[in-house]
Structure 1
Amino acid sequence: MKKSELIEALAVSAQVTKPQARVMLDRLIEVIQTGVKKEGRFLLSGIGTFSVIKRGARTGRNPNTGAAVKIKAKKSVKFRSSPDLKDAAAKSKV
């Protein structure tokens, strides 16, 4: 689902205008980013948990040349889905 489709669905579901739904979605994204930044994790009940993980330095390969490339250590975000979301996925028609 694209962000614009999510905004449209949110607008219909919440009976608000699309600009209002866009603001709501943007604020939700900001709240999640702030939670991850301050606490290192953000739990959204019924959906899952966003958490910061540390990825160690490693050696990769340039796909064009095959040459070894050093990749620096960095922090990344991991998402772990909740049991409710896993159940919904298991019951999906796809």
Structure 2
Amino acid sequence: MNKQELVDAVAGRTGDTEAATGEAIDAVRAAIMRALTDGGAVQLVGFGSFSTGQRAARTGRNPSTGAEIQIAAARTVKFTAGKAFKDAVNTP
């Protein structure tokens, strides 16, 4: 499902216009990104939680040449699915 399909599905379910639904989805996405950028976490009960983590600097290899390269430390984004979400996905 791409963004337009998501907008269509949510608009069809709520009865809102596609434009209003698209703006709401963009606002939710921006709020989640802002919270994570500021170092916080977002928990949506029944769906899951978004958080950040740290990946340490490490030495890697260029697959084509085999040369060692240094990979910088980075912040990562984690998503952990909630119980209701996991149960819904695993129900036949």
When the two structures are superposed, what TM-score results if normalisation uses the length of structure 1? 0.89
- The equivalences for 1:1-40 within 5 A come to 1-40=1-40
The answer to whether the aligner puts 1:63 opposite 2:63 as a matched pair is yes
Give the secondary-structure state (helix, strand or coil) at the position aligned to 1:36.
helix
Corresponding residue of 2:79: 79
Question: Deviating runs (4+, > 6 A) in structure 1?
Answer: none
Corresponding residue of 1:54: 54
Q: Could you list the runs of 5+ residues in structure 1 that have no partner in the other structure?
A: none
CA distance in 1 between counterparts of 2:61 and 2:17 reads 48
Deviation of the 1:40 alpha carbon = 2.3
Give the secondary-structure state (helix, strand or coil) at the position aligned to 1:66.
coil
Aligned residue type for 1:17:
T
Q: Is the 8 A contact 2:39 2:52 kept in 1?
A: no
Aligned residue type for 1:82:
G
Deviation of the 1:10 alpha carbon = 0.8
Aligned residue type for 1:77:
V
CA distance in 1 between counterparts of 2:55 and 2:43 reads 21
Deviation of the 1:6 alpha carbon = 0.4
Q: Report how many residues are paired.
A: 92
